[in-house]
Amino acid sequence: MTTESINQKATVLHDGETASNELRRRNVSTEPRCLRTPTSSMAVIESSAGSYHYTVEGRKLMDFTSGVLVSNLGHNPTRWWKRLYDYLGHGELVQKLHDGISESDEQFVRAAPLTVYNAVSPLEVESCERLLKSMRSESGGARMEQVLWAASGSEAVQKALWASLAHREEGDIIIATRDGFHGKKGLSAAITGNENSPDRDPRVRFISFPKEECYSVEKRREPLDLTKYEAELTALANEFGSRLCCVVTEPYLGGGGSFHPQKEYLQLLQRFCREWDIPFILDEIQANFGRTGSMYAYSHYGVEPDIVLLGKGLGNGIPVDAAVGRSDLFGALGYGDGSDTWSAHPLGCAAVLATLDEFEAGNVIEECQELGSVLEEGLLRLTELPAVAAVRGEGTVWGVEFQALKSDKADHTPEEVAMAAVEACYHGDGAGHAIHVLGPLAGRVIRIAPPLVLSTAEAREYLDAMYNILSRLPEFLSGDENWQPSQS
């Protein structure tokens, strides 16, 4: 990898990628860097199918990201697209596009619109009913009564918090788990991070998350002592009493470094909420639709939330998000309090229906549970390598934490090692096994979260390739041109 300064902005370039490099240069000239998080690969993806991306040069990349936990059913699944078009009534349009549009054709096609602002569409009603039925059919979904659609994950979080604040007039103190990620806007940003993060809201109080106790797969298997966490909650209750508004947490800390707690921790938070009669909000935007091995994370963790936040995999690539929960909580908001331009747009509702169809018609959950076992086995093997400090996760979402490493030329920090791992995986093993992963979480953790439909054979093949690639990180870091891993 090299970098080049364009208009005082650095762009990542790779040898042998003439077309991609030209697009990278054009990109950095026309978009600000704030649209992306740091990465050493800066992949230029032209097309995708199933569990693979393809660059403009035609290189094949195994996608170990699912587009940040979005494409749970894989990229461009044929049956899913057909369902989507059928729900929208776009079959005639698709046929015309295939056959070619002539001058004699109608200028418009009658089908579901892309917006029905402040009206109701049949797709909206059906997707609400189907989603609620799906959630209530799973253990822990009894409180799922209404769907409050949103245009992004941040907005779903914001709307859930608005409803909780409006539910009880004196309740204004929001309790959030420390170092979580809930979004970058408004109240979603206020409950992200910790006390030292910028733009704090005085209504938010943070409580500890058992990061040390779930630092690795082995640590997570040990019993969790809840005493510390019970004491923190008791202290907040003693201080604020009736001012308590709600507790909000992710099932696992995603952006905070992929920390997956023992189930007893979330169950403790729920008991506290029941005791103080405040909503328990579970933000499983990064965890829903099979990611933890259950359709919804609340079932996996044995809790029954008052509000559940959904997104990402909910639409398998079409932006659609929602807060789902108790009708009395949402009923505290008045007309227009939860409205926006894009919520419940027909395209998103059709995507939700198509995604539900795929999960209900096939064996996605059973197959992803098998995939999860293969991922666990292959990723735990990485802990044999000097570059890897720990592996943690569940189902089909895992984190690989890197540690300091020496090369022939220098001592490298965990952050440098993690970024080098991203680039080394992108270059691959020299035998056609290249892997797309995102820039590190929390500076030093690479998330492994392939589509749920990845076959176990392909998973083993690419996990072996990843092991070989990461075993040669010292040579890669030293700039050895012959660093390419062996194919053993």
Alpha-carbon dihedral 190, 193, 199, 201, rounded to 10 degrees: 40
The pLDDT score that the predictor gives to residue 95 is 80
CB contact at 8 A, 428 and 465: yes
Each residue's pLDDT tens digit, 112-171: 999 999 999 999 999 999 999 999 999 999 999 999 999 999 999 999 999 999 999 999
Average pLDDT, the chain: 95
Each residue's pLDDT tens digit, 294-353: 999 999 999 999 999 999 999 999 999 999 999 999 999 999 999 999 999 999 999 999
CA dist 120 → 108, 130, 319, 331 (Å) = 22, 16, 19, 18
The pLDDT score that the predictor gives to residue 91 is 83
User: What is the number of other CB atoms lying within 10 angstroms of the CB of residue 185?
Assistant: 15
SS (H, E, C) 20-80: HHHHHHHHHHHCCHHHCCCCCCCCCEEEEEECEEEECCCCEEEECCHHHHCCCCCECCHHH
Q: How do 397-402 and 388-394 pair as beta strands?
A: antiparallel
pLDDT band (50, 70, 90) for residue 205: very high
Q: Mean of the pLDDT values across residues 233-255? A: 98
pLDDT over threshold 60, residue 265: yes
Alpha-carbon dihedral 447, 220, 412, 67, rounded to 10 degrees: 0
pLDDT over threshold 70, residue 451: yes
Residue 369: helix, strand or coil by DSSP? helix
Please name the residue that has the structure tokens 């690419």. Answer: 462
Please name the residue that has the structure tokens 């822990």. Answer: 140
Closest to 254 (Cα-Cα) out of 209, 218, 299, 295: 209
How far apart CA 183 and CA 200 sit, in angstroms, is 13
How far apart CA 321 and CA 343 sit, in angstroms, is 8
Which tokens in the block code for residue 88? 């929208």
* DSSP bridge pairs for 321: 150
Please name the residue that has the structure tokens 């062996």. Answer: 486
All domains of the chain in start order, with CATH: 1-36 (no CATH), 46-76+364-477 (3.90.1150.10), 122-361 (3.40.640.10)
pLDDT over threshold 70, residue 9: no
Q: Mean of the pLDDT values across residues 179-208? A: 96
Residue 6: helix, strand or coil by DSSP? strand
Each residue's pLDDT tens digit, 38-74: 999 999 999 999 999 999 999 999 999 999 999 999 9
The pLDDT score that the predictor gives to residue 3 is 63
pLDDT band (50, 70, 90) for residue 488: very low
Q: Mean of the pLDDT values across residues 457-483? A: 91
How far apart CA 472 and CA 408 sit, in angstroms, is 12
Residue 96: helix, strand or coil by DSSP? helix
Residue environment code for 285-296, b if the CB has 16+ CB neighbours within 10 A, otherwise e: bbbbbbbbbbbb
DSSP state letters, 253-318: BTTTT-B---HHHHHHHHHHHHHHT--EEEE-TTTTTTTTSSSSHHHHHT---SEEEE-GGGTTTS
Each residue's pLDDT tens digit, 367-419: 999 999 999 999 999 999 999 999 999 999 999 999 999 888 899 999 999 99
The pLDDT score that the predictor gives to residue 103 is 67
Which tokens in the block code for residue 107? 């200028």
The pLDDT score that the predictor gives to residue 153 is 97
Please name the residue that has the structure tokens 């696992």. Answer: 252
pLDDT over threshold 50, residue 273: yes
CA dist 361 → 233, 343, 357, 367, 459 (Å) = 43, 27, 6, 13, 24
CA quadruple 261, 262, 263, 269: dihedral sign: negative
**Which residue type, as a one-letter code, is found at position 166?**
A
The pLDDT score that the predictor gives to residue 487 is 45
